[in-house]
Structure 1
Amino acid sequence: MGSSLKPEELMVELQSKGVRLEQGSGKGRQGGAGPANGKGMVFGNYQITVPTSGECATNSEYSLHEDGEHALIYKDGEVVSEVELIATPRFYELHTEDGVPYHKIALLHGRDCLASTVIQTCSRWHGEERCQFCGIGTSLNDENTVPVKTPKQLAEVAEAAQRLDGVTHVTLTAGTTVNPLYGIKHLGDCAGAIKEATGLPVHIQFEPVDDPDIYRHLKECGVDTVGMHLESFDQKVRERITPGKARISIEEYFKGFAGAVKVFGRNQVSTYIIIGLGESLADTLAGCTRCIEMGVYPFVVPLRPVKETPFANIAPPVPKTMAEIYREVARSLADHRLSAADSKAGCVRCGACSVLPAFERKKTWLSMS
């Protein structure tokens, strides 16, 4: 058993090519706005989510086989790696005081991150403003969640997840509300309730708004880290793929980044950068470097095909492209002393949707020096 690929290289392959689930393998998480339509796996010290739906996974040369306590990755009929699958957490078995199953309030992401789409609707979901890759409405349509989670519900679930399953940090996101400040402040209220109940570090995600005081308000609520997701540094790509969000200019995002870094500090502000939307490599690397220089962590991820979206069958970028970007961004992160390991909470700390943290830790970029 074995592969000629290094662990981080195999993880890049799997996130780009997906994995077929053989009979007996769980289907993974379906729908949603985060690591949807994927399965959590652990390779040694590294955790990732791997696409399990769409044409890339259906036609993948990789397959997952579960045999009792073991899970094996096969390539063309031969075992290439043993993996640990992330078990269903115990808190999923419980219900809130008002009768809602905990798993409809929040989910386990990776091994130790509790995550919730607090507002499961988005003012841009219907019509021409919708982000082409986002599946925020699918899990609501499938009745796998509830439209809005309350601070009390989230605090209750977080306490149980911490006690029963060892959760160490929390990620809260939301669809964009008609009045964006309403959604942001609701996330802050939820973070405060979780912090009071558990003491856990909390990350929240939102679009930048023209209110410089919002960051201090969130900090006072108990928020530890924030993410404002630009997705692409190419405005033409943004207008085509995220037409609603594209109305907020790239410079407005960077203005928001600067304001957030002043309050939360370097390495505690992040932005998702999705590879595979039609962007240029040079623009992507230049944008990532600009973020890093100001203390913002660019969380680089491959496009994830999500069911019932226009991008459901779009293939993620090829492994070679992802590896090249990871190496260059990891080099820049090291040069500016930013690291996923130093993030207090959220997607960057979890790291499962990207292989960038593995490239950081392994210093794979040194081979390019």
Structure 2
Amino acid sequence: MTTTDRALAIGERVERFVRDIVIPYERDPRCAAHGPSEELVNELRALARDAGVLTPHILGDGQHLTQRETAHVLIRSGLSPLGPVACNTMAPDEGNMYLLGHVASPEQKVRFLRPVIEGNARSAFFMTEPAEDNGAGSDPSMMLTACEPEGNHWVINGRKAFITGAQDAKVGIVMAKSTEGACMFLVDLPDPAIRIERVLDTIDSSMPGGHAVVAIENLRVPATQMLGEPGEGFKYAQVRLSPARLSHCMRWLGSCVRAHEIATDYACRRQAFGKSLIDHEGVGFMLAENMIDLRQAELMIDWCASVLDTGNLGTSESSMAKVAVSEALMRIADRCVQVMGGTGVSGDTIVEQVFREVRAFRIYDGPTEVHKWSLAKKIKREWKSSRG
């Protein structure tokens, strides 16, 4: 597994910034249940801008790092839950930047993409719908939000749920169905036609703005703000899907690296029954298993990234990586809590937050079971095909 010189250099700067500048902010009271406040986000991004590590995965000419290079950088941004927020590598912005970079028109890139890349605007992706409405979740074909042409505009109505960062976002990507199929629209936020009903109380707390339930009522969007072509929304979602799924793996791997460091330090310092905790096999073996899972997760990310770098959509590969990495990270986070005992479930370190974040990650971007089901369907299709 080799890393390019430019990725090594960027990764080193990002890691130094996160460890030296960002980590001290982890106890800042502006880190709340629904994520860091907008004031804190702006303060951290100003520091990242000064350090030359803002949006480090996109170069000055707009070129993205390769996925393998991105992994090296994003893992290091994830060493603190606040690192991706500060460096502008956090979801949903990172995935939205990737999508707009590949699909948006030149005019749309200037108006909607540039402010996000520059860290002056956060964005939100409006696709998931409320379960009580029996709307789109893991099955996007169940989408209820509808759009209709009206002159040189489109009118959108519906409800969305778990919309990360909708609160205080300035750029929205709204997905809705038309008679031609799914469509995506770029919208300026806030808009009075997009009303936040409530911000959900969830176990994770790292993403600015939290996760909102939103009502969209007669939203009028100029036709020039449709992303791409009508009816191509699901195809564009696939462009975003695998890289965004994988970048979640990257960021949370970084957090679990840090949690493992904290648990290791605790186990080596803490004494019990006449020796250090790590010298008790029950503890030492858990940390050894963490090492194994960390390396396997890193290798799985690198393998999937290499597939994406060929231009392949990598749908199945990213499903496999998402399952393998999220489950491995859950084991790591759980062991870190267990090794640290009472301290592990307290807010004295970020270990308990990493546990909460990774537990949510097993559901976000597709629950483990949905990915396994999708892979099983692929296995069956290939079996049928092999039999002629």
TM category, shorter? under 0.3
Q: TM-score, normalised by structure 2?
A: 0.24
More helix by share: 2
Q: TM-score, normalised by structure 1?
A: 0.25
